[in-house]
Chains A and B, each alone.
Chain A
Amino acid sequence: QSELTQPSSLSASPGASASLTCTLRSGLSVGAYTMYWFQQRPGSPPQFLLRYKSDSNKQQGSGVPSRFSASKDASANAGILLISGLQSEDEADYYCMIWHNSASVFGGGTKLTVL
């Protein structure tokens, strides 16, 4: 069982909001972790979007629009990346990451289609 599970794909319309989830496996508590989010457009390296531990402990990446935000859903044991006001340029793969036992672990990624 992977530490982090992301839906493989998600579609949303321009101008709408998209909520991308990253679910921690049983035995890991989302509240204990800082979650990092990355965007990877086709043919480009990943780019750091933001990190989120709590509303009082978070950081936006340099130049990342405020349309990108994060939260946690403790009941679902998941981190959430929220993208509001979707634009065509937001079409990309999105990866979550945590550090667990001194190892960096990535989710499998979600392909976001804006159509």
Chain B
Amino acid sequence: QLQLQESGPGLVKPSETLSLACTVSGGSIGSSTYYWAWIRQPPGKGLEWMGTIYYSGSTNYNPSLKSRVTLSVDTSKNQFSLKLSSVTAADTAVYYCAGSGGVERRQYDPWGQGTLVTVSS
């Protein structure tokens, strides 16, 4: 059974870069079955898709975040990662990683448990 787990700092200073990793277990990140996604949720608010990456390194980003987001894959660690630059308080959120599978590899299932990242000095 595929499982995902986010890791990274819970506190980031304004203007710095937020970096998170998602470790995949129970399957290979190199599987053609999945794309890999990051989705965030500010406290008390809704879900926002940030971007998706394939094991080959092919990426697709949310246009509203594209200038600040970088996704990468490390197949040797069975991980994929998120970097978000120039963060502000508005980037405070729970960050989820998810497998994007299904017939068209477009349905988010499963999800990680999420990790809260607070942007504050």
Contacts and interface: CB of A to CB of B under 8 A. Distances in A.
A45 B114 contact: yes
Interface string B84-114: 0000000000001000001110111111111
Interface in A52-92: 59, 61-62
A101 B109 CA distance: 21
A20 to B, nearest CB: 14
B96 A104 contact: no
A45 B107 contact: no
B103 A95 contact: no
A106 B48 contact: yes
B52 A104 contact: yes
Interface string A82-115: 0000000000000101010011111111000000
A115 B96 CA distance: 30
B103 A36 contact: no
